[in-house]
Structure 1
Amino acid sequence: MKTYRNEHVWVDVDCSIHLLRQTWLGVPTSEHFRDGSLAILALAKRHRVKRWLIDLRPLRLFNPVDLHWFIEHWLPQANSGVGLTQQARIAVVLNDPNQFGKLGADLILRASGRLNESLSSRYFVDTEDYHQWLLDD
């Protein structure tokens, strides 16, 4: 298992099933958000990730400037040779469907879908459901 950690994101990759798990914490600083996002991209490329689990339960919110950077810079890189081009599945886990962090995730997932129509994504509040959905082929 490969990992990356900073104060605001924890990332693990299960190479055997091409699954990347990322957990965002608190209110990420721009530095931690961008460093974490770039590390995630590098891990995804290296391990040909096809399944993404984004856990937003401990997140309070994303900075709108960082979301703009993510959509304008990170997503185009991700769609040029990462698992996102391989019919990836992205599961986003929330405490409840009205969690504030969902707003940022909505923006990112809509932009991802425009860049890659084969991408599948869903929101979950039950941990058992997302695991099954991610592993289904």
Structure 2
Amino acid sequence: MIQAYSKEIASGFSDPSDEYLTENLQVIYSTSTEILHVKWFGEVGSKEFREGYSHILRMVRVHKPSKWILDLKNRELLNKEDQHWVFKNIFPQILRMLKQDVFIAVILPVPLYESLIHNIDGDDFIDNDNLLIMNHFLYYEECLRWLAEVQVADIS
């Protein structure tokens, strides 16, 4: 399953820092599309989940991706505390780090997406004038179309 996903997005990355892989997490930065692909698999414990996001943050520091695909369709449910931790700690940190709008395309079945975003405080998705914009999709191709359409402001 991981190999098929890698082949689907692997064009455009060549540096070993462009990929991180564990049994339950694959993170690839595609230099050709400038999209960070994060895919979680199976049952993920709290420790592994938080360690995975520390690797994701390292890749964000290196590549500064403003466009992401966060594929959660094959991941088991997380506990609410870990979900809350990502929204309260990781996403605001990414916004502060990048200092630009961030677009995250989430692949997840509709009922799971509803429970994921329930009780989210939108203030965690704003830093100065920059926004973290999350959109829900059922298929990978839809994510690519949306991310190709969004415009990231040039910060230089």
**What's the TM-score once normalised by structure 1's chain length?**
0.81
Q: Could you say which structure has the higher strand fraction?
A: 2
Residue 41 of structure 2 aligns with an amino acid whose one-letter code is L
Partner of 2:75: 59
Alignment of 1:103 with 2:125, yes or no, is no
Q: Which residue number in structure 1 is paired with residue 39 of structure 2?
A: 23
Change (3 A) 1:74 1:118: closer
Offset of residue 71 of structure 1: 3.0
Structure 2 residue 140 is the aligned partner of structure 1 residue 124:
no
Percent identity over paired residues = 26
Which residue is equivalent to 1:90? Answer: 104
CA contact (8 A) 1:13 1:19 kept: yes
Higher gyration radius (CA)? 2
Count of equivalent residues: 133
Higher relative contact order (CA 8 A, sep 6+): 1
Partners of 2:82 and 2:25 lie apart in 1 by 14
1:67-115 residue CA offsets vs partner (Å, 9 max, x unmatched)? 2332333233222213xx3212110012x312x3652355668464244
| RMSD value, Cα | 2.4
Deviations 1:3-32 (A, max 9, x none): 112222111101233210011112211121
Which segments of 5 or more consecutive residues in structure 2 lack a partner in the other structure? 1-12, 152-156
Q: Which amino acid aligns with 1:29?
A: G
2:50 maps to amino acid = R
